Amino acid sequence: MSYPPPQGPGYPPYGAPPQGYPQQSGYGQPPPHQYPPQGHSPYPQQPSGYPPPASALYGAPQYGVPPPAPYGSHQPQQYPPPGAPYGAAPAGYPPQPPHAQATYGQPPHQPYGASPGQYPPPQQPPQSQYHAGAPHHGHPTPPSPGYVMGQTAPGDATREAEVLYKAMKGFGTDEAALIRVLSKPDPLQMALIRRTFDHRYGKRLDAWVESETSGYFKDGLVALVRGPLEQDVHNVTRALDGLGTKETLLNDVVLSRSNADLNAIKQEFYRVKRRPLEDAVRKDLSMKTERMFAMVMAAQRAEESAPVISQQTDQDVTALHRATEGQVGADQLTEFSGHMEDALLMIVRGGMDRAMRDAMLLEEAMKGAGTKDDLLVNRIVRYHWDRNHMNQVKGAYRHRYGKELASRIRGETRGDYEKLMLACIE
C-alpha cells in the first residue's frame, strides 16, 4: 500500500489526518485523558511488508535483523519483519546475556580493534547534579543494537574485509565496492566487519577509508564504519568543541535517544574525553536551555512500558498550558526562541510522530540555498540503522511533500556521495 500525494494548498496542518484518509486512532489528537499509544504510526504499512515501528523512540524499534544464517554465510540478504522486542538479540543471533560484552562503567572484554589491556579501565563518571523530578516508571528499555561496546554479530566477515581491502589498496579506489559492502550491514554486523578488518590487516578500517576517500562521500562512509554509538560521541564532541556550540548537531544526538542509549553515549564520551558529558554541555549552554539539556541527559524519563496515569496526564497538560499561555503545539511554541525553541520543537514533534519529524529534518537539511550536507549525511546514516524506521520516514516524506525522498536526494547530491546516500535509504 502506498501513500497518495498530499493535496494542494488546502493540505491539512501537520498532525491532522489529511482529507480522504481513513481516521486512524491516535493520529493528530489523542483520546481524552490518554497519550497516543507509543509506536502508533499514521502511515500505512509499506510494500516491503514492514510493520509500523513499535515505539516513538529510537531505542524501541526492532531493527538490524540479520539473515537466518550467521553473518558471513553469504546467502541472499533478506530483512524479514522484526518480531522480537526492541533490545533483544535479533533472530538468528545466539542469545547473549544483558551487557554480555561490556557493562556500562566497565571496558569490553576485548576492546574493538586492540589487544587486551590496551585501554585502561575507565573510571565511573561523576553523577550529574541534575535529576528529573519523577523516578523511573516501567521496565528499563535495553540499549539499541550498536550501543553495547564490544558486541558484534556472530559469523565470519572475512570476505567483506577482503573486498574492502582490495577496494582501497594500491592506486585508485573502488568506490562502488565500498558502497556495496558498507551501506547494508546492521550495527552488529558492521562491528564484526570492522573488527575482522582491523585484526586481519592491522589498521583501523575507519582510518583507512578516511585516507582513501574525500568530501561528504568520505564522511558518510566513515560514519557507517564507526557505528551509531561511536558516531554519536564523535558528533557531540564536534558540537561542543571550538568556538560556539553547533546547536543543531547537539540536538540531533541528545534529544532523540532512549535512556539506555543516552547512558551509553555518556559512558563512551567519558572514556574518550575523560570528563562527564554533562559538564561539557553545561559549559557551552546557559540558563533554561542548560537546565533542559541537563534534565534530558539525566536519562530518567518514563520508559516505554510506563503506564499512563490519567490524573497525572491532566495535571501535566494543565501546567504546560498555563506555562505557555495556551500556545502549545508542534509549531506554536511562541514563548521560546532560538536554541530553546528548536530543542522543544524537536522533542514535541518526536513525541507526536517520530517518522514525520525525521522526514522534516531531512527536508530542512536540503531546502533553501545550498544543502546542509553535514546534517544530511548524519541524519541519513542515523535513520538507516533502523530499516523499519527508514521505511516509515520515506512514507512520511512522501505524505508531507508529495515526492519521493530518493528523488529529492538526487536533486541535491552528486557522484559517489549521491550513490551512497541512495544506497542507505534503500
Q: CA angle at residue 221 from 79 to 416, to 5 degrees?
A: 95
Using CA atoms, how far apart are residues 63 and 86, in angstroms rounded to an integer? 8
Q: What integer pLDDT is reported at residue 309 of this predicted model?
A: 72
How would residue 401 be classed by pLDDT, with cut points 50, 70 and 90? very high
Helices (H), 298-404: 310-323, 338-352, 354-366, 373-384, 387-401
Q: What integer pLDDT is reported at residue 24 of this predicted model?
A: 40
β-partners of residue 16 are none
What is this structure's pTM?
0.68
Q: What integer pLDDT is reported at residue 334 of this predicted model?
A: 59
pLDDT tens-place string over residues 410-420: 999 999 999 99
Among residues 207, 209, 265, 204, which one has the least CA distance to residue 237?
A: 265
Distances, alpha carbon 360 to alpha carbons 223, 345, 388, 422, in Å? 21, 12, 18, 18
Instruction: Report the percent of the chain where pLDDT is more than 70.
Output: 61
pLDDT tens-place string over residues 53-62: 333 343 444 4
Q: What integer pLDDT is reported at residue 211 of this predicted model?
A: 96
Instruction: Give the mean model confidence (pLDDT) for residues 321-333.
Output: 56
pLDDT tens-place string over residues 213-259: 999 999 999 999 999 999 999 999 999 987 767 899 999 999 989 99
Q: What integer pLDDT is reported at residue 336 of this predicted model?
A: 74
Torsion over CA of 253, 257, 263 and 267, rounded to 10 degrees?
Answer: -30
